[in-house]
Amino acid sequence: MSSYFTDLAQQYIDGEWRPGTGSWDIIDFNPYDNEKLASITIATVDEVDAAYRAAERAQRQWAATNPYARRAVFEKALRLVEEREAEIGEAIVAELGGTRLKAAFELHLAKEFLREAVHLALAPEGRIIPSPVDGKENRVYRVPVGVVGVISPFNFPFLLSLKSVAPALALGNAVVLKPHQNTPIVGGTLVAKILEDAGLPGGLLNVVVTDIAEIGDAFIEHPVPKVISFTGSDKVGRHVATVCAANFKRSVLELGGNSALVVLDDADVDYAVDAAVFSRFVHQGQVCMAANRVLVDRAVADEFTEKFVAKVSGLKVGDPRDPSTVIGPVINSSQADALSGVVEQALAEGATALVRGSVTDNLVEPSVLTGLPADSALLRQEVFGPVAFLVPFDGEEEAVRLVNDTPYGLSGAVHTGDVERGVNFAKRIDTGMFHVNDGTVHDEPIVPFGGEKHSGLGRLNGDTMLDAFTTQKWISVQHGRSGFPF
């Protein structure tokens, strides 16, 4: 077992590693074999306050630090991730049941986002804006918001913590990070350790491992943070947004999805099958962009269905440490139980199981269902696991209507032999992201990443990080003399 789970099972506040003072512990389990990885005494409201106050104290000097010096921290952090890649990969496999393939995928993206953080340190630029007043110079400065609170999820915890933490710090802010209770090391204290070793001054990044059962809304209500960056479910995201709005905070919300992969009548069926299987089953389907629904034109439905079912049936389920495993465990028993419930509900509503996987502890084998009634709630909600719904359609108009018939709007994909037909199709879908002749699961460092409808507010990545983690300040200079009416 990685030493991370013994060395980093603490809180990280004001540059110090220390135990929490709560009355109970969060137990960190390996979801595959239920091995106890770590026990972390939770942070209390007082420790959340201490973390935010430390961040507030440290931030002003950091903001005044030469951005080239800030940049150097992230250059070193990138080198450290590269040097420790094998250990971090092992931790991903152990703590969240990620397969070897998934761990490599997450680490690749994490390095790309650290490279972008290096660039972001130098990105803020000011402007001079003309004034209608003689002698006046209008300067607009791009400045850090101050302190950012980050709440990260369990599915890609290392990547999705770094994705907000690194840009916010690079742009001159301080950060308090609350990782998900199921991934406190990979999504929390490991990030702090890497940045500490990279030379980030104490107090600028604080990690509190805790639970809302202990702290309630203290993390998002606290007066210090000006922005809360949350990645998780739309239900919790709605609450975060409400509390932020009531406290005059900005929220950046990356929420759930119910993405569709659409196969039009002129698609390359074999390629579409490959894309659909990856899009639904990568990391056990525990991905916000995953293709919950696979929509197939009836003209190619029989061929697609036969090949899709054959490929899904061949996916190896089991120990994520085995390099040949494609489907590892879901994160915990409540997720496994919920997925069993989804399949049972679908069958009770009249669906047909083309593949019906069994559930053993947290190992949920893939299921492929078709024939769900058009009004089924299951077709409109997020299903966070290896359950695919195949939905036939007649023609492009019906496909557009079906894809949009959901409260979510995160990602999606369309397969067609005509690229421009695909682009025109994509333009009609109410999503923040859509892909032509590819999968639904993509993230890149400089494209605007985010969703519409219940899938979130705001964007991350590239220049949109400036909108998320900085604000604009107008300073005018009167070089002459203004005239006043009295």
Average pLDDT of span 117-144: 97
Chain-wide mean pLDDT for the chain?
A: 97
Residue 237 pLDDT grade (very low, low, confident, very high; cuts 50, 70, 90): very high
What is the predicted pLDDT for the residue at 2?
78
Average pLDDT of span 365-394: 98
Please give the DSSP secondary-structure letter assigned to residue 317. B
CATH, domain 260-436, list 3.20.20.210, 3.40.630.30, 3.40.309.10, 3.40.30.10:
3.40.309.10
pLDDT digits 0-9 by tens, 250-288: 999 999 999 999 999 999 999 999 999 999 999 999 999
Q: Is residue 336 within 8 Å of 310, Cβ to Cβ?
A: no
pLDDT digits 0-9 by tens, 384-393: 999 999 999 9
Reported as type and span, the H/E element at residue 137 is strand 136-144
Q: Is 42 left (phi over 0), alpha (psi -120 to 50) or beta?
A: beta
What is the predicted pLDDT for the residue at 433?
98
Residue 231 pLDDT grade (very low, low, confident, very high; cuts 50, 70, 90): very high
pLDDT digits 0-9 by tens, 190-212: 999 999 999 999 999 999 999 99
Indicate whether 132 pLDDT > 90: yes
| Percent of the chain topping pLDDT 70 | 100
> In degrees rounded to 5, what are phi and psi of residue 26?
-90, 125
Orientation of helix 67-83 relative to helix 190-197, angle to 10°: 120
Q: Return the residue matching tokens 């400089």.
A: 446
Hey, where are the domains in the chain? 3-256+455-474, 260-436
Tokens at residue 309, please? 């079912």
DSSP secondary structure of 5-31: HHHT-SEEETTEEE---SSSEEEEE-T
At position 193, the amino acid (one-letter code) is K
The CATH fold assigned to 3-256+455-474 is: Aldehyde Dehydrogenase; Chain A, domain 1 (3.40.605)
Strands ordered across the beta sheet of 136-144: 127-129, 136-144, 470-478
Q: Is residue 180 within 8 Å of 154, Cβ to Cβ?
A: yes
| Percent of the chain topping pLDDT 90 | 99
State yes or no: is 90 an active-site residue: no
Indicate whether 1 pLDDT > 60: no
pLDDT digits 0-9 by tens, 28-37: 999 999 999 9
Instruction: Give the predicted TM-score (pTM) of the model.
Output: 0.97
Sign of the torsion angle spanned by Cα atoms 103, 104, 106, 111: positive
Q: Which of 47, 254, 382, 396 is catalytic?
A: 254
What is the predicted pLDDT for the residue at 118?
97
Indicate whether 79 pLDDT > 60: yes
Indicate whether 337 pLDDT > 80: yes
